[in-house]
Structure 1
């Protein structure tokens, strides 16, 4: 019996052990699966971080390469800016030279890339040559038909041809090869030459002269290539700015992505973020420098535009001055013609004056001294019938002249106070302001209203008295 009870108890224990063994096996299996899962997840995360780190390093290297390329472009851009600056200085210097050239152009005339000066005064040949030397030029050398035609309107003007050494040479020592002698020239006894048709004259004679010289500067324009380069520089700056913005955006996005997906690697991420921040600061510095360079470029371009406009204004002013000078020369020639015409008319008038019986010319007026005697009114009528009037004495010189031509005789003059007693007026209606009265005159009151001149001075007499008279008329009327 005892044996039988023991057997039943053992069976129960064995079942319990079996259950416990199955449970432990299941636990081990679960733990093993958990360990495998953890190991797998750890390896996955490690590989993922390694891949992320590798991608970041590649990105970092690419960014560094882009920054290096951008620095090279910046250096290239700065070099091109340095090339623009000398051109800007050259343009400024050109404008200064143009202003100086305009100041030197006073009296000069440009023809076929040569400046010519025609003097307004007259000198001998040697003095003319010295004047040209002072102006940085020399007496004109005529080497072509066109140049000879240019001087056709200028007669009797010294040129740089002479025979002082026995042969005809120009002032620069070159021999005469092309000539435009007038008929019967050259005369070997005379050593210097004037235009327009060449004539030989003594070098001591005085004439106008002509100088010639080359312009002191040549105006240069900026080429179209320079303008294209400036536009390219602007486009390059804009592209660099956009590239920097994109790179900065990519770096920030990459930093955020790495920081979000790698929180377990804070130390490495912090170090990478610091590097990215440094790169961003370098980019900002580059952007600032590029912005400064862009502003400088815009300033230089504006200055170039302003200098170009100033140069165009100076060129326009030069052309306007040349036109004004041509107009003045034309007016000068017209005035010379008018002067010659007036001289001719004056000579003809003087000839006609000499033919007028009894009339005397003095200071653009004609005077007639009568030989008979009449009253003041009849004397004035006589003068009026001959387009004249009784004389009006305006100054001491004319008073002395009247005394001279009248031989101090008593002669009526054109002065009366017949309208208002004591208010003496000339026959042209002018009021007497000062006269040459005899100290005792006038003294006739209402009975003596007409004036005459005699040896002591003027005196008033009755207008009905009979005296000689003097008529006066202007030759300009």
Structure 2
């Protein structure tokens, strides 16, 4: 018994674009008719013709919409190509991100190492600063103690100085209140001075006059006394001579001068000058026989 099948028709729809931008559906028919037998061989031929028609349409790019297996094949291929392209893009992005990650990790490690070294250096510097600060504190403490001791010593010196000033004032009061010099005499400390400026005598005569008044030709024993005499007396004999030994000057009480106030170039022993006078705040040697004013002094009892 022969197998009979109904005639198979495959209708393919395509659209033909017209000149004004419209599309018109076109019907295609595949091979096969009412007398064609549906043998295995005939089926293969029909399927081959359908595939060739679909491939022809796809290759000619006429943008025709087909039905059946041809349309499914195009969709799968496009989807596969799109997925492959997407996979390639993702792979490239992953590779780029991996390279960037490795570079970032390397940079981070390098920066971390540098920060660690900086931290080590800062720690060492901080410890050195702490040691220096400790030393400075010790120095400041020692200086503070020294300043305190110095202030204490200064206060003691001030107290002693104040006490000495009071003692000196008390002493001056006692001297001036209890032992006054006679009239025409000038007192300095506990010594009275008489300046004979209205008369002139030789050195020996002046000495004798002072002795008759219970005094002596002025003996100057300190800088303060010399300053005082220079302020009150301009010129006159003083009790200084080298009569006994040339160039060995002594006071009339036998003592040697503690301070010397010779004028520049004096004593020069010009014309046998063996006696001394005070002249404008300085000493000068002069002939003992020359007339001159004189100065007497005597200590208060």
TM-score, normalisation: structure 1: 0.26
Q: 1 or 2, which has the higher strand percentage? A: 2
**Which structure is higher in RCO with an 8 Å CA cutoff and minimum separation 6?**
2
For the pair shown, which has the larger CA radius of gyration, 1 or 2? 2
